[in-house]
Amino acid sequence: MLQGLADVEKVFQYKGMKEMQTEDELIEEITNSEYKYGFYTEMDSDQAPKGLSEVIIRFISAKKNEPQWMLDYRLNAYRIWEKMEEPEWAHLGYEKPDFQDLHYYSAPKPKVQLDSLDEVDHELLETFKKLGISIEEQERLTGVAVDVVIDSVSVATSFKKKLGELGIIFCSFSEAVQEHPELVQKYLGTVVPTTDNFYSALNSAVFTDGSFCYIPKGKKCPMELSTYFRINEANTGQFERTLVIADEGSYVSYLEGCTAPMRDENQLHAAVVELVALDNAEIKYSTIQNWYPGSKEGKGGIYNFVTKRGLCMENSKISWTQVETGSAVTWKYPGCILKGNNSIGEFYSVAVTSNHQQADTGSKMIHLGKNTKSTIISKGISAGQAQNSYRGLVKIAKGAANARNFTQCDSLLMGNNCGAHTFPYIEVSNQSSKVEHEATTSKIGEDQIFYCKQRGMDETTAINLIVNGYCKEVLNQLPMEFAVEAQKLLEISLEGSVG
Amino acid sequence: MDKKIKGIEFLIALFRMIKIKNLHASIEGTEILRGINLEVKAGEVHAIMGPNGSGKSTLASVLAGRDEYEVTEGSVDFLDEDLLDMEPEDRSRAGLFLAFQYPVEIPGVSNINFLKTAINEAREKRGEDPMAAKDFLKRVKEKSKLVELDGRLANRSVNEGFSGGEKKRNEIFQMAMLDPKLSVLDETDSGLDIDALRIVANGVNELKTKDNASIVITHYQRLLDYIVPDYVHVLYKGKIVKTGPKELALELEEKGYEWIFKELEAVSA
Ligand SMILES: Nc1ncnc2c1ncn2[C@@H]1O[C@H](COP(=O)(O)OP(=O)(O)OP(=O)(O)O)[C@@H](O)[C@H]1O
Ligand SMILES: [Mg+2]
């Protein structure tokens, strides 16, 4: 899945495509495209029994050999969650998950401290191969450090040594709890408090693993850090927890990718990601999300309920970039709390929904500091019967003098059965601030498609080209290798079978 | 004897480009083209003139394969193939190029990427390897010079924010890049200033060989001073009502179309 530079050329080649007659057929083709990552790896897994209770939480915590403070944090969250109601306000219609019918812990065996690839379970290596992540290859070719989380336990980290020399910590969350408890304790829950929402509370109670990253003062992380998440077991909820801390004057670019096997039942993914950018620091956080979207009849698929938020201190900057083509239902609003003066928050998103996929996504930008700036660029693409909603909150607090926000929210519709909706919420309590919101909805242009065809392109190629152009501003934000991957993903999700 | 016939057939095939026979086409039930007959041979330039709404762009669109138009009668033979039976992209790959009257904008897609995609897809269909990046860029340089297209335009999004004249120039640039057999230029001259007109016309002339041909749709004799046509056709109400040598364009410029229509009425009366 991750490609080296040699593959950049291939983006411009479109192989083995069928020729199509009409737009209807094309849409049919698009909505029929099959999920490419739907394999299931057979591995022994160490599972907790179904259901959620204090006992299960103690089980998870004990399994992970956690210190008391971590268990207390979980139990507290569980008690808060028990009193909360599942939110209803999103523009989504789905069957609510049965929280007692899920496994909250599933670790692939053997659970290992991996120092070299030789120690990695063979099946697991196969999984990596199918995902297209060959760790050796990557170490050599792309200079990307990858942390892979299958189901809930982080199983492989690479490049650790090199990063260690700079004092950069990049490890699984569980390891961070053991090895760097002071950092975890200091920052965990400071950006997304347990009480924030139903799913963040749930996550805080049961998260099993995730990634942790700390960049020390003044250090620029010399490579892209990357995590792959994959849900493997049936009826497993995945609740990973990510915490990235960029200390003063540091820089890091972080990417997460997600896939899951095809299953008839819905699977739940409720992650929490917290970013902390201290004074003068910068974090770029990119997501390529390709969870199983369900069958074309709308059966199965991942429920993706994620809370992602960044905290910006003085002169710092956090950019969220996401390309999302997967999940049956997505509910997610990455945002920034612009607490420090002159801090900057950015959100660039492409969300593709086809068939029966539903997405209610957007961004929250909370301006607290003076001269804070935020930019939201959201590109929605809907095909089939899909529903794609943008929901954004821009809040400018009283003290946020001269705050600026620019929001641009575009929707592209393919066919007549899909929908796009925009729900902007703007709260301004400061006279000197400026908020701009632009929104457009367009149908993919017949004229554009014909123009491309007249120059010799197939309909599918034409659509890919037009869609890529439409998403350009967002794709440009991704690190090059991932931009290539994202383009391919867009092609896959908007095309028929890719040979 | 045998050999001789083959030789003649070969020669005929060499010169045959497109043959339009009794072409009728309608849109939303309204017949726009009502029996077009036109034959263009390799090496020729044909000009089509005619009042607004007479069906010039419709003819271009039908040839290029826009599916809004329904062909109700007639045939079009293009390089020995049934053009009407081909998909628009196959027509393009077979060597048909349309310079659009209103070029389309494609935001976020650079001209370069657009052409690279087009060229390489056509090559792939022919079983050829993609064009090497080096060769491609060399060609871009060479061809953009031909129409004096500002190098920066090649890297900008297809037609987005281009001035009217730049769009037209870009069409000819694309034509040069794709090297078609038959080009249909739909009012490529309108909106061009005098210098641009000369540049575009020079470009078209430079690209002219004895193996390709063009159909030039225009309202102005001015263009035909630069691109000298072998024939001038007048299209009126979906039919070619008069065909003449290049001097016909001068006559039209001077006298307008009225006299032709009068002539027609006189004949039919
Ligand atoms: N969708 C449509 N429905 C009905 N009539 C149409 C439609 N599209 C085009 N026409 C008509 O077809 C006729 C021919 O149009 P066409 O664009 O071919 O003319 P033209 O000769 O190119 O004119 P111009 O010199 O103005 O470019 C016009 O009368 C036009 O109104
Ligand atoms: Mg016209």
The string of pLDDT tens digits covering residues B204-218 is 898 888 889 999 999
Return the residue whose CA atom lies nearest to atom 7 of ligand 1. Answer: B27
- Whether residue A455 and residue B103 make contact (CB cut-off 8 A), yes or no, is no
- Whether residue A451 and residue B107 make contact (CB cut-off 8 A), yes or no, is no
Chain B residues lying within 8 Å of A457, measured CB to CB = 89, 117-118, 121
Quick check: A261 and A38 in contact, CB under 8 A? yes
CA nearest A196: which of A343, A350, A87? A87
* Number of neighbours of residue A251 by Cβ within 10 angstroms: 18
Write down the number of H helices and E strands in chain B: 11, 12
Q: Residue B74, SS3? A: strand
Quick check: A336 and A345 in contact, CB under 8 A? yes
Reported confidence tier of residue A20, pLDDT bands at 50, 70, 90: very low
Chain A residues lying within 8 Å of B119, measured CB to CB = 456
Range of the domain at B172: 7-268
Check CB contact of B156 with chain A, cutoff 8 Å. no
In a domain, A390, yes or no: no
Chain A residues lying within 8 Å of B178, measured CB to CB = 455-456
Reported confidence tier of residue B263, pLDDT bands at 50, 70, 90: confident
- Per-residue pLDDT tens over the stretch A98-136: 777 776 766 654 333 444 445 445 555 555 555 555 555
- Per-residue pLDDT tens over the stretch A452-466: 999 999 988 898 899
Quick check: B60 and B23 in contact, CB under 8 A? no
Helices assigned H by DSSP within A437-479: 446-454, 459-470, 472-475
Whether B156 has a pLDDT exceeding 70, the answer reads yes
Ligand at shortest distance from the CA of B61: 1
Report, as an integer, the average pLDDT of A432-441.
Answer: 90
In angstroms, the CA A329 to CA A303 distance is: 5
Q: For residue A430, what are its two tokens?
A: 């400061």
With the most atoms of ligand 1 within 8 angstroms of its CB, the residue from B23, B54, B218, B239 to mutate is B54
In angstroms, the CA A295 to CA A301 distance is: 7
What is the reported pLDDT for B167?
92
Q: Considering only residues A301 and B18, tell me which one the structure prediction assigns the higher pLDDT.
A: B18
In a domain, B71, yes or no: yes
Q: Is B57 in the pocket of ligand 1 (CB under 6 A)?
A: yes
In angstroms, the CA A37 to CA A53 distance is: 33
- Per-residue pLDDT tens over the stretch A349-398: 988 887 777 778 889 999 999 999 999 999 988 887 777 888 889 999 99
What is the reported pLDDT for A457?
95
In a domain, A121, yes or no: yes
What is the reported pLDDT for A369?
96
Reported confidence tier of residue B25, pLDDT bands at 50, 70, 90: very high
What is the reported pLDDT for A159?
63
In a domain, B212, yes or no: yes
Helix (H) or strand (E) holding A352: strand A344-353
In a domain, B91, yes or no: yes
- Per-residue pLDDT tens over the stretch A319-338: 999 888 776 778 888 999 99
Quick check: B169 and B200 in contact, CB under 8 A? yes
Complex ipTM tops 0.95: no
**Could you tell me which chain A residue has the CA closest to the CA of B130?**
A13
In a domain, B2, yes or no: no
Whether A155 has a pLDDT exceeding 70, the answer reads no
Mean pLDDT of chain A: 76
What is the reported pLDDT for A232?
52
% of chain A surpassing 70 pLDDT: 69
Instruction: Indicate the DSSP class of residue A236.
Output: B
Shortest alpha-carbon distance between residue B100 and chain A (Å): 9
Quick check: A50 and A100 in contact, CB under 8 A? yes
In a domain, A167, yes or no: yes
CA nearest A127: which of A28, A1, A67, A40? A40
Give the pairing of strands A266-269 and A301-312. Answer: parallel
Quick check: A195 and A238 in contact, CB under 8 A? no
In a domain, B228, yes or no: yes
Quick check: A284 and A485 in contact, CB under 8 A? no
What is the reported pLDDT for B5?
55
- Whether residue B118 and residue A14 make contact (CB cut-off 8 A), yes or no, is no
In a domain, A357, yes or no: no
Question: Residue B220 maps to which CATH number?
Answer: 3.40.50.300
Q: Which of B88, B114, B157 sits opposite A453 (nearest CB)?
A: B88
Chain A residues lying within 8 Å of B106, measured CB to CB = 448, 451-452, 465-466, 469
Q: Is B102 in the pocket of ligand 1 (CB under 6 A)?
A: no
Range of the domain at A77: 35-249+290-299
Task: Estimate to the nearest angstrom the gap between the alpha carbon of A482 and the chain centroid.
Answer: 13
In a domain, B132, yes or no: yes
What is the reported pLDDT for A499?
23
Shortest alpha-carbon distance between residue A29 and chain B (Å): 18
**Burial classification of residue A181, based on how many CB atoms lie within 10 Å of its CB (0-12 exposed, 13-18 middle, 19 or more buried):** middle
Report, as an integer, the average pLDDT of A39-57.
Answer: 65
* Number of neighbours of residue A319 by Cβ within 10 angstroms: 20
With the most atoms of ligand 1 within 8 angstroms of its CB, the residue from B23, B26, B30, B67 to mutate is B30
Q: Is B56 in the pocket of ligand 1 (CB under 6 A)?
A: yes
The sign of the CA dihedral A134, A135, A136, A137 is: positive
- Per-residue pLDDT tens over the stretch A275-316: 999 999 999 999 887 777 666 766 767 778 889 999 999 999
Domain count, chain B: 1
Mean pLDDT of chain B: 89
Whether B185 has a pLDDT exceeding 90, the answer reads yes
In a domain, A255, yes or no: no
* pTM of the complete model: 0.77
Chain A residues lying within 8 Å of B93, measured CB to CB = 456
Check CB contact of B157 with chain A, cutoff 8 Å. yes
Domain count, chain A: 1
Rg (CA), chain A: 22
Reported confidence tier of residue A141, pLDDT bands at 50, 70, 90: very low
DSSP string, B140-188: HHHHHHHTT--HHHHHSEETTT--HHHHHHHHHHHHHHH--SEEEEEST
With the most atoms of ligand 1 within 8 angstroms of its CB, the residue from B56, B61, B70 to mutate is B56
